[in-house]
Amino acid sequence: MKKMASFLPLDIDFSIDPLDFTPKGEIITRKLSSMKDAFVDQDAADKMLANGQDPLIVKVFMAEIPAEEGFLMVNINAVYPGKVGNEYFMTKGHIHDDPEHAPEVYITLQGNGKLILQNKNGDFHVSEMRPNKINYIPAPWAHRCVNVGDDPLIYIGVFPSDTERDYSFDSRTFKQIVIEKAGKVAFADNPLQNK
Ligand SMILES: [Fe+2]
């Protein structure tokens, strides 16, 4: 309790364009080369990288908040527009390591996204991400954000700050992927599931 008492009220300034967040804690950036395995079309990913394209797909600014019980982490997230083959850019997807007590809230500020949700029973759900939407992710649901628009998908996340992200719930677990088909957003069975 002593540590909590010593943590002072915190005000954060952020902007969407350019994406910024002050004061900054950890900054996470994921380019295609660091998350290539998340995408189904490995040939398309290899071709992009061989052509010298290594696009930035995800950027996250974390607040400087203790990773301890009793605190809430706040971050701002960007998923940039683009595709690997016909699959839209997305986050790797994760589940929280404390599936009973670690929910998350997303508040979308810009863009057009699909929030893919799946629990360990295999129940699958898709939520919309767009401005004026708040998504509540119950604790036992894995989550992945897919940018299906032309602009960066920007959203704020809030979750218990002692939560670890478990990435073993990955592209081989999600039932469906989000692709462009005939110029439209479409869902397809995930050919990597259980492989
Ligand atoms: Fe999360």
Q: Which of 72-81, 95-104, 105-114 has the lowest mean pLDDT?
A: 95-104
pLDDT the model gives residue 43 = 97
Identity of residue 46: D
State the pLDDT confidence band at 2, using cuts at 50, 70 and 90: very low
107 pLDDT higher than 50:
yes
37 pLDDT higher than 70:
yes
pLDDT the model gives residue 98 = 77
pLDDT per position as a tens digit, 138-163: 998 999 999 999 999 999 999 999 99
Ligand 1 centroid – CA 21 distance (Å): 19
C-beta of residue 90 within 8 angstroms of C-beta of residue 146: yes
Domains and CATH numbers, the chain: 2-189 (2.60.120.10)
Ligand 1 centroid – CA 77 distance (Å): 11
pLDDT the model gives residue 167 = 80
State the pLDDT confidence band at 3, using cuts at 50, 70 and 90: low
Ligand 1 centroid – CA 163 distance (Å): 8
Mean pLDDT of the chain: 93
Ligand 1 centroid – CA 94 distance (Å): 6
Ligand 1 centroid – CA 54 distance (Å): 25
Ligand 1 centroid – CA 36 distance (Å): 20
179 pLDDT higher than 80:
yes
Peptide bond into 103 cis (omega under 30): no
